[in-house]
Amino acid sequence: MKDAVRKHLEKRKESEDKASIDNAILDALVEKNPVEVPAGMAKNQAQHMAANMLQQFGQKQAEQLWKNMGAQLTEESLPRATRSIQIALILEAVAKAENMTVSDEEAHSEIEKEATRMGTSASALQARYKKEDLIHLKERLLADKVLDVIKSKATLHTEQKPLRSKTEV
């Protein structure tokens, strides 16, 4: 039991570290490559993000919340939406410049991995995928590929956090 918990915590820490590095790289990319995002595009993305937040509620409750708070949620989502679009545009430009693509085989391989994680068959999961889902999967895989290439060429600087003294504990 202890080993399982330890492995789970180690895996979670590894995922958090990877996400932290990825976010630092993405922040640097956006900072070094400013991209102007059209206001309408950012607003549409913000509305989509705000609507997604409400999906956890039932339809009637979500509709009521959207009616009462949709504009506020959209406004609060605007910075994240803008950053998301900037990142997508930058990664797309890098992919194009590097002639990077995602093949159907790579997408199918990812579906197989996802099916294994979910405890289902790849064919059953593939059958549930809509055309748009497959496009989004390929976009995500391409973004991951581009990020991996950038990471392989980047020089990462990490900050050493000072150890706490016994008096601080």
pLDDT in tens, 141-160: 999 999 999 888 877 666 65
Q: Which domain holds residue 15?
A: 1-32
Range in 58-62, 78-82, 126-130 the model is least confident about: 126-130
In a domain, residue 138? The reply is: yes
Q: How far is CA 107 from CA 68, 104, 112, 149, in A?
A: 40, 5, 9, 18
Examine the domain organization and report whether 8 and 42 are in the same domain. no
Nearest-5° Cα angle at 55, 111 to 47: 100
The structure's pTM equals 0.76
Residues 83 and 122 in one domain: no
The residues, ordered by sequence, that sit 6+ positions from 46 with a Cβ below 8 Å of its Cβ are 74, 75, 77, 78, 80, 81, 82
Q: Same structural domain for residues 105 and 92?
A: no
How many domains, in total, are found in the chain? 3
- Note the pLDDT of residue 163: 52
Q: Whole-angstrom Cα distance, residue 69 to residue 31?
A: 31
| H or E stretch at 44 | helix 39-53
- Inform me whether the pLDDT recorded for 169 exceeds 50: no
- 58 pLDDT above the threshold of 60: yes
Residues 8 and 58 in one domain: no
How confident is the model at residue 161, as a pLDDT? Answer: 56
For residue 46, give both structure tokens. Answer: 């913000």
Q: Kindly provide the b/e burial profile for residues 63-73, where b requires at least 16 CB atoms within 10 angstroms of the residue's own CB.
A: eeebeeebeeb
